[in-house]
Chains A and B, each alone.
Chain A
Amino acid sequence: MAYKVIEGLYYSKDDEWAKVDGDIVTVGITDYAQDKLGDIVYLEEVEKGKKVKAGEVFTTIESVKAASDIFSPVSGEVVEIHDEVFKDPSIINKDPYGEGWMVKIKMENPDELKNLMDAKQYSEYRKE
């Protein structure tokens, strides 16, 4: 099955995507991840101002039959929370790359992006 992968985004091996705009990085989970989880029912609260580190857990996502840690693709500070998605996480299933964005992080170290995959690499990685 071919999962949707968007050009121009960065991808982590834990199925997060990162959209970079200057030093603000928008983060969400990929189509592959939302499909594997099934109907998403819960996203654990994240506080604005929270300090995150690349590769470390910053929240948890839950579906009826699974739970997953969400890892931050970059280090920095959470500057915006997408309230709608935390209230109704089913949005992530419907539109994982658009309305399903979760947080925006002010990135400390752009070099960290080198550790992420691009769309082509991620497609290969999650090919089934």
Chain B
Amino acid sequence: MRYIPNTKEQKEEMLKEIGASSVEDLLKDIPASARVKGKLNLPSPLSEEEVKEKIYNISKKNLDFFFYKPLVGAGAYRHTVPEAVKAIISREEFYTSYTPYQPEISQGNLQSMFEYQTHISRLTGMDVVVPSIYDGASATAEAALMALRLTHKNKVIVSQLIHPHYRETLNTYVEPHDTKVVEIPYKNGLTDIEKLKDSIDNETAAVIIQSPNFFGGIEDIEKISKIAHESGAIMVQVIAESMSLGLLKQPAKMDVDIVAGEAQSFGMDINFGGPFNGYLCSKMKFIRQIPGRIAGETVDKNGNRGFVMTFRAREQDIRREKATSNICSNHALNIVAGNAYLSLVGKQGLKKIAEYNVKAAHYLRSKLLESGKFEQIDYPFFNEFILKTDNKDSLKEKLIKNNFIPPLDLSLFYPELEGFMLFCTTEIFSKDDIDSIAQIIGG
């Protein structure tokens, strides 16, 4: 088999050296009753040509998705992923390499981590950046656990406008720790701040708000931070659409303590929902409680600058059951993708792309409202918004027929919002695209 170099003859030579007559000799510690009888019931092996045919055929059972621009985001955003990013992450030194535990031969990965930490730090204003947790959902959950550890309290306040998958994940992670999770309802597309004020008390470990929220709405984080801090709670901002950081205020400027983000918009394809890349940021004083791998700058014995993984005593291999988290393998290659993307778009590009997103979404919304076929809710938004239709099935059908993935049926997650759809437009839509869409569903 082409992945297994040693021939039958070579294996026999090696067995002889070992002092075994066959490989069965080496298996004698395994009780006979534990052994597989016969062979595993798996399909016959396929040659490279055959497996290629097979998978190509399976892929044809999906839509030709490249040609279907999605009007849905909801935590998975189709942005332009530059070919340069893909070329970089297909270099074997990046994608076949191991975790940089031996820094002297991993400076590529470690310097890249350090650069990416710097990018995210400049976008968020935060001191400490953990560049890879699995995704925004697990980052949100880890942020909650971090706040519980820091405050020794057991209640968290969570906005209902946090991505439903993120909230579910948070609930799964905090459940074993007797945590009280209080959900704050929404009002007019944003978290209901009055209800938040009513729910918060001195027993609250954290206030967790997503902005832009699941409806695309831009929350007043500064105001909410104040409320959180007045009660001694930690302020956590969740960011599912990180493209917003190209335009919106740094969380640090709004006195956020922990950021739980999803960096998928920075150079990662949608891939049916993963792998993406979560990130966690915090103030320096929390560094010993933040989970995940961090790169730090240092020097080698000759005084040359180099990078290492640092603050390792937080991690599972050293702390075991007292670790900040069990996380070991993360989504490291996506750090390289994110770094490459942010380096390519740079200071000017990220802002321009973010602006385009905002304009495209606002333009789509205004065109749809012109048709008179939608009910609106007014709130400030980034690149997603919700509108109510009384004929969602026809809307979905028309869009698919015309090669667009329909917006999200919000009633799947918010049953009280029957008829509401969550729309998203990114920079892959041209103005003409949007005019067509408006024509197709506005009629």
Q: Is B388's CB within 8 Å of the partner chain A?
A: no
**Cβ contacts under 8 Å, A41 to chain B:** 313
Query: Which residue of chain A has its CB nearest to the CB of B310?
Result: A64
Contacts of B322 in A (CB 8 A): 67
Please tell me if the beta carbons of B288 and A65 are within 8 angstroms of each other in the complex: no
Contact across chains for B318 and A42 when beta carbons are under 8 A apart: no
Q: Does B319 contact A (CB under 8 A)?
A: yes
CB proximity of A40 to chain B, nearest CB, Å: 11
Is the interface on chain B under 10, 10 to 19, 20 to 34, or 35 or more residues?
Answer: under 10
Could you say which residues of chain B place their CB within 8 Å of the CB of A62?
Answer: 313
Residues of A close to B319: CB separation below 8 A: 67
> Which size class do A's interface residues fall under?
under 10
B312 lies within 8 A of A42 (CB): no
Query: CA A42 – CA B322 in complex, angstroms?
Result: 16
Residue of A63, A65, A66, A67 with most chain B CB atoms under a 10 A cut-off: A67
- In A17-45, the 8 Å CB interface with B consists of 41-42
Question: B152 to chain A: closest CB distance in Å?
Answer: 13
B314-329 Cβ-contact flags toward A at 8 Å (1 or 0): 0000110010000000
Distance between Cα atoms of A63 and B312 in the complex (Å) = 9
Residues in B with CB closer than 8 Å to A66 are 313, 318
Q: How far is the CA of A67 from the CA of B322 in the complex (A)?
A: 10
Residues of A within 8 A of B318 (CB): 65-67
Set of chain B residues within 8 Å of A63, measured between Cβ atoms: 313
Smallest CB separation, A36 vs chain B (Å):
13
Find out whether the CB atom of B312 lies under 8 angstroms from the CB atom of A64: yes
Contact with B along A39-54 (1 / 0, CB 8 A): 0011000000000000
Give residues of chain B (289-324) contacting chain A, Cβ–Cβ below 8 Å.
Answer: 312-313, 318-319, 322
Q: Which of A58-79 contact B (CB under 8 A)?
A: 62-67
Q: What residues of chain A lie closer than 8 Å to B313, measured between beta carbons?
A: 41-42, 62-67
B286 to chain A, nearest CB (A): 14
> CA of A66 to CA of B318 in the docked complex: distance in angstroms?
6
Complexed CA–CA distance, A28 and B319 (Å): 21
- In whole angstroms, how far apart are the Cα atoms of A67 and B319 in the complex? 7
B326 vs chain A, min Cβ distance (A): 16
What CA separation (Å) do A70 and B318 show in the bound complex?
16
Chain A, 67-100, CB within 8 A of any chain B CB: 67
In the bound complex, how far is the Cα of B310 from the Cα of A41, in angstroms?
12
Report Cα–Cα, A64/B314, bound state, in Å.
10
Residue of B nearest to A62 (CB): B313
Question: Please, which residue of chain A has its CB at the minimum distance from the CB of B288?
Answer: A42
Residues of B within 8 A of A64 (CB): 312-313
Output the nearest chain B residue to A41 by Cβ-Cβ distance: B313
Docked complex Cα distance between A65 and B312 (Å) = 7
A86 to chain B, nearest CB (A): 14
Q: Nearest Cβ distance between residue A6 and chain B, in whole angstroms? A: 28
CB distance from A60 to the nearest CB of B (A): 8
Nearest CB of B to A4, in Å: 25
Nearest CB of chain B from residue A57's CB, rounded to whole Å: 10
CA distance A58 to B129 in the complex (A): 29
In the complex, what's the smallest C-beta–C-beta distance from A42 to chain B, in angstroms? Answer: 7
Closest to B323 in A: A67
Min CB gap A92→B, angstroms:
15
Q: Which chain B residues numbered 363 to 415 have a C-beta less than 8 Å away from chain A? A: none
> Taking the nearest CB of chain A, how far is it from the CB of B45, in angstroms?
44
- Nearest Cβ on chain A to B413's Cβ, whole angstroms: 41
Minimum C-beta distance from B92 to chain A (A): 30
In angstroms, Cα B314 to Cα A67, docked, is 8
Q: Please list the residues of chain A having a beta carbon within 8 angstroms of any beta carbon in chain B.
A: 41-42, 62-67
Question: Known pairs A42-B288, A62-B313, A67-B322. 11 more at Cβ < 8 A?
Answer: A41-B313, A42-B313, A63-B313, A64-B312, A65-B312, A65-B318, A66-B313, A66-B318, A67-B313, A67-B318, A67-B319
Please list 9 pairs of residues, one from A and one from B, whose beta carbons are closer than 8 Å in the complex, sorted by A's number: A41-B313, A42-B288, A63-B313, A65-B318, A66-B313, A67-B313, A67-B318, A67-B319, A67-B322
